[in-house]
Structure 1
Amino acid sequence: MATIKDVAKEAGVSVATVSRVVNKSPKASKAAIKSVNAAMTKLGYRPNANARALVSKSTNTIGVLVADVSDPFFGSLIKAVDGVARANNKHLLIGNGYHNAEVEKEAIELLIHNRCESLIIHSKGLSDEELIQFSQEVPGLVIINRHIPQIAHKCIYLDNQLGSRLATEHLIESGHQHLAYINSNQQIDDCIDRKHGFAQALEKHGLIINSSLLSEGEPTDEGGENAMNELIKNKQSFTGVVCYNDYMAAGAIAALEKAGISVPEQVSIIGFDNGLIAKYLHPKLTTIDYPISEMASQAALLSLLLAKDEKPETEKKVYTPTLVKRNSVHTL
């Protein structure tokens, strides 16, 4: 496959001249344009993003790091960023981090090496210090779903504690006093914050946390089913369950049904995220809305402004979760 150097050699010009022609720079002479185009045709050369970037110093690309692109939550994030990108004549480069520090670091470095001036980073593995260092290297870097005080102006995040507190208080206000909590087994701040929100609500209403009613698993439907099975095996009475996310709630409902326990008549359940699955479960799932699409769009717009050394007109960084009432909660 021909390279830009091959084209330069064939046309008898410098690599920089080839790049000017590729980028339609007014500095390219008619003779250079003619010779370079002839060389590209002869060699079958197709300009790539890096060649165009030699003059513009930008690939017109927004880099996005998510945990796992196959997760619908991150699919919504990416779609929202892509909407902003397309509106601004940009393209996306996407990396998976899997909440692993080394994998996240490699992915971010790859995005930087591909000259992404704007970066939307969802990182749970890297330390605050490492992300601060990356933000100093890339002015257009924005962190989503995480708050780092030193670069708070570059962070877009949700109040996870409040979301879990709202869910728990809704169960309590519906008459439930024996509550269980199903958490993700990931060692990330979302898990910590949502569990704290659950505890805060119980404490506020004078209720005691029963350790036998705390369970955890993978943040999937299977993980939720396994976690619920553990709660059932403990034979501790509970009438309400707060789950880490909607998928764990779906698995928990499946486990209860297999055990002959009806939802919500015998056990009420609340999820978190308000993903598409919540609308189509039976019963339809009461959950906490996580406005990830709106947040991702805001993050993308912010990253574009920061990349141009501009300040946003609005400074909304912390998003407030809201309760979405459906049919999975029964009032006692």
Structure 2
Amino acid sequence: MSTIKDVASIAGVSIATVSRVVNNGPKVGNKTRDKVLKVMAEIGYTPNANARALVKKKNTTLGVVIPALNDPFFASLANGVERIARDKKQHMLLSTGGFSCESELNAINLLIEQRCESMVVHSKKLADETLIELSKKVPGIIFIDRIIPGIEERCIWLENMEGGKIAARHLLALGHANFALLNSNFDIEDPNLRRKGFVETIENANSVQAIIQEINHEPTLKGGEMAAQQLLSLNKPFSAVFAYNDAMAIGAISVLEDNGIRIPEDVSVIGFDDVLLSQYSRPKLTTMHYPIENMAENAAKLAIEFGNNSASKNDFKHRYIPSLVKRESTSSCLD
């Protein structure tokens, strides 16, 4: 493996000069700079990011921890972080945490081992106490999609309960009274909060005698299909479906239409997240917009500032409210 000494020797310059070229420093003529860069390319020398960070006393690596790579929601999260990393000329490292305490902690520790002092972490399994201890260890760790009492300044979160309320109000305004709730069976906070907001809003609506059927399944396209099949097997009436996320909603629509149920003429369906797929489903999906890319960008900026000990206490938005995106999958109840 080529070293900085090899570059200096072949280029006929000092190690300090090579270092200035690598770090885009001053006092290096264009001719010398070009010569050093040419040698670096010829022998395949790649500067060590950790070593550069130590020399410059500045954090240059931005990490992100997400549960999985194959979920459009988490891909959007990572994309938001990557956009800021590129803009701030940071190196981005991505680590997947799965859906267990052990795997989440391993993912975070992997970034710490890489001297990553700024990171955006999506953690749903680790205890608040563990994350608080990690915040003391890692200068620029920021938690997204979660609020942790005591370190709220390090958290970026969505009001999931409010999202459930907004979805319920939309369906109530369309005249629906028989509801199906297709919720995630993951043991995390988000589905519980969305359910609470949805159910409480419907139960508190004085104008309707509401019926709510609830089925829990994996928050995937397949999970939505299976939840819809189970719903139909109950042989009970419903005119509106609120799904935990867009994947479940689209999966449910597929099963409903396969069984001769028209969307939205017979049944209205509303999802959550507003991932790209929701714009291209048929019919186009009414959903709750989750501004995850904006939240991730904000979290990344905050992580970099904390990592460099330059965090301001004002300009960052920590709390987000989902918004309704009306498309084609909901309409007035015909009953």
TM range (shorter): 0.7 to 0.9
1:120–1:300 Cα contact (<8 Å) kept: yes
CA contact (8 A) 2:65 2:122 kept: yes
Q: Please report how far the alpha carbon of residue 219 of structure 1 lies from its aligned counterpart in structure 2 after TM superposition.
A: 0.8
What TM-score do the two structures reach when normalised by structure 1? 0.86
1-side partners of 2:280 and 2:24: how far apart?
52
Match of 1:252 in 2: 252
| Percent identity for Structure 1 against Structure 2 | 43
Q: What's the CA shift string for 1:73-129, capped at 9, x where partnerless?
A: 111111111111111111200011112211110111111121112110001111111
Give the 3 Å change call, closer, same or farther, for CA 3–131 of structure 1 in structure 2: farther
Cα distance in 2 for partners of 1:100, 1:210 equals 35
Tell me, yes or no, if the aligned pair for 1:23 and 1:55 is still in contact at 8 Å: no
Query: 1:270 is matched with which residue?
Result: 270
Q: Which amino acid aligns with 1:311?
A: S
Partner secondary structure for residue 229 of structure 2: helix
- The AA in structure 2 aligned to 1:247 is A
Distance 1:19 1:59, change over 3 A: farther
Question: C-alpha distance in 1, partners of 2:93/2:209?
Answer: 47
Q: Which amino acid aligns with 1:130?
A: T
Say whether the 8 Å CA contact 1:19–1:51 is kept in structure 2. Answer: no
Aligned position for 1:327: 328
1:13 is matched with which residue? Answer: none
Q: Are the equivalent residues in 2 in contact too, given 1:305–1:312 (CA < 8 A)?
A: no
After superposition, the Cα gap between the structure-2 partners of 1:205 and 1:86, relative to the gap in structure 1 and judged at 3 Å, is same
**2:138 is the counterpart of 1:138:** yes
Matches within 5 A, 1:219-298: 219-298=219-298
Q: Secondary structure at the match of 1:157?
A: strand
- Matches of 1:41 and 1:238, distance apart in 2: 66
What's 2:12 paired with?
A: none
Task: Give the direction of change, closer, same or farther, for the CA distance of 1:209–1:176 in structure 2 (3 Å limit).
Answer: closer
TM-superposed deviation, 1:55: 2.0
> Matches of residues 64-213 of structure 1 in structure 2 within 5 Å?
64-206=64-206, 210=211, 213=213
Deviations 1:229-257 (A, max 9, x none): 10100111110010000110000001101
Q: Show structure 2 runs of 5+ residues with no match.
A: 10-14, 27-36
The one-letter code of the counterpart of 1:73 is: F
Cα distance in 2 for partners of 1:42, 1:240 equals 64
Which residue number in structure 2 is paired with residue 32 of structure 1? none
Amino acid in the other structure paired with 1:170: H
CA offset at residue 164 of structure 1?
1.2
> Who is 2:31 aligned against?
none
| 270-279 vs 312-321, which moves further | 312-321
TM-score, with normalisation over the residues of structure 2? 0.85
Counterparts of 1:296-311 in structure 2, within 5 Å, are 296-309=296-309, 310-311=311-312
CA RMSD across the alignment: 3.0
Unpaired runs of at least 5, structure 1: 11-15, 27-36
CA distance in 2, matches of 1:174, 1:299: 36
The 2-side partners of 1:280 and 1:238 are apart by: 25
2:177 touches 2:209 (CA, 8 Å); kept in 1?
no
SS of the residue 1:235 aligns to: coil
CA gap of 1:44–1:253, structure 2 versus 1, over 3 A, is closer
Paired residue secondary structure (2:186): coil
2:17 and 2:132 map into 1 onto residues whose CA distance is 37
Structure-2 separation of matches of 1:220 and 1:63: 26
